[in-house]
Amino acid sequence: MVLPTFFLVPVHRVSGREAAVQLAQSLRGQAFDPAVSDAFLRLAADPAFWTDLEASNIQHTVLALEPDGLPPLTDASIDAAALAFADFIDLKSRYIAAHSRRVGALAEQLARALGCAEATVFLIRRAGLLHDLGLVAIPSYVLDRPWPARSAAEQDAYRLYPYHGERVLARVPALAPLAEMVGTHQERLDGSGFYRGLTAGHISLGARIIAVADRFDQLTHDRPDHPARSIAEALHQLDQEPLDQAVVATLRGSVGARRADPLPHRRALPAGLSAREVEVLRLAARGGTRREISRQLAITENTVRHHLEHIYNKTGTSNRIAATLFAMERGLLID
C-alpha cells in the first residue's frame, strides 16, 4: 500500500480527487499492484473517504487508528524500517537504485576504520541508509535532469531536501538521533554546502563520513550530470572538494579496484536466475531500455525481452519497479 499512497496523496493534494483516481487507474498493474489500486478505487467511490482524508485533523485521525499494545521497537525492527525507507527512496530515480544501501554500507566501513564506538557505527550506518529521505519531496523528473537543466526553483527545492529528511526523523523518537547527520550531510567544510551553509566546526564526524560515502557513490555511478567514473578518478575528485580529507584518506585505504566480475562474490544467485539474467536485471534496474541493454550485452532486443520475461517469472514480479526492488533487496546492485 505504501507505493500507491506515496504517489496518490500528493497528486490529490495538488490536483484533486479526480486526478488521484485517474492516476490509480492508469498505473494499475504497472507501478501499482492491481489489488491495491482496486482497493483505493473502491474507497474513492465513497464520499466519506474523501471527507476524512481532507479533514484538517487528519493527523489525529490516522494516529487514532494505531492499534494498542504495539510490540517494543528493537534494533532489528529499526534496521528493517531503515532499509525499507532506503529502498523506497531509491525507487524515485533510475540513477539511485540501491544508492542508499551502498552509502550505508560504506559509511559503516569508514566509521569502523576511523575508530568510532560500535554504537556510533550503527547510528552512522542507519543515517547513511536514510540520508536521502528528504528526496520524497522532490519530483522524480527533477532528479532525472542534469543540474543545469533544472530551473532556479527546482534547484532551490533540491537544496532543501536534507531539511525535509531532518524534520521527518526528528519527529520519530527511535530515529531522532539520526536527524542531525541526515540534515547536515550536504554541508561542506568551507560553508559552501546546503541547506544551512555550516562550516567545519559545526558539522559532526558522522555527517562528514556520510558526505564522503555519498559523494563517492555518486561519482562512481551514472548520474544525470556525468557517467560513472573510475575509483581513481573519483578519489582524485574528492581530493579537490571541501570534504573531510581525513575521511577521504580512510576511504582511499579502504577501496580497491572494481571487481572484473560484477556479480556479488559469485555467490548462489537468487530465484534461480542465471548470470546473464542478473546482468539484464541490473541494467534494467538502472533504467536501461531494451535497445540499450541489447547494445551493452551484444544481444538482440528480442533476447532481452525473453530474459525480462524469465526474470519476472522467476522473481514473482510483473514490472521493472518490482524487479528493481527485488534486485536491491538481494544485493544485486551493490557495486
Does the bond joining 95 to the residue before it have cis omega, within 30 degrees of 0? no
Top CATH class of 75-254 equals mainly alpha
Does the predicted model carry a pTM greater than 0.95? no
Burial 16-53 (b: 16+ CB within 10 A, else e): eeeebbebbeebbeebbbeebbeebeeebeeeeebeeb
Grid cell for residue 60: 489525529
Mean pLDDT of the chain: 90
Distance separating alpha carbons of residues 209 and 238, to the nearest angstrom: 13
**What pLDDT is recorded for position 62?**
78
With beta carbons less than 8 A apart as the criterion, state whether 133 and 179 touch: no
Exposure of 26 in the CB half-sphere (CA atoms within 13 A): 8
Distance separating alpha carbons of residues 229 and 145, to the nearest angstrom: 19
**What pLDDT is recorded for position 289?**
92
The residue ranges of every structural domain in the chain are 2-64, 75-254, 264-329
Does the bond joining 158 to the residue before it have cis omega, within 30 degrees of 0? no
DSSP state of 32: B
Window from 12-16, 153-157, 242-246 with minimum mean pLDDT: 12-16
Window from 15-24, 206-215, 243-252 with minimum mean pLDDT: 15-24
Distance separating alpha carbons of residues 86 and 232, to the nearest angstrom: 27
Over the stretch 186-211, which tens digit does the pLDDT of each residue have? Answer: 999 999 999 999 999 999 999 999 99
Q: Which fold has domain 264-329?
A: Arc Repressor Mutant, subunit A (1.10.10)
CA-CA distances (angstroms) from residue 26 to 36, 124, 150, 171, 222? 13, 40, 27, 34, 30
| Confidence band of 261 (pLDDT split at 50, 70, 90) | very low
SS3 at position 176: helix
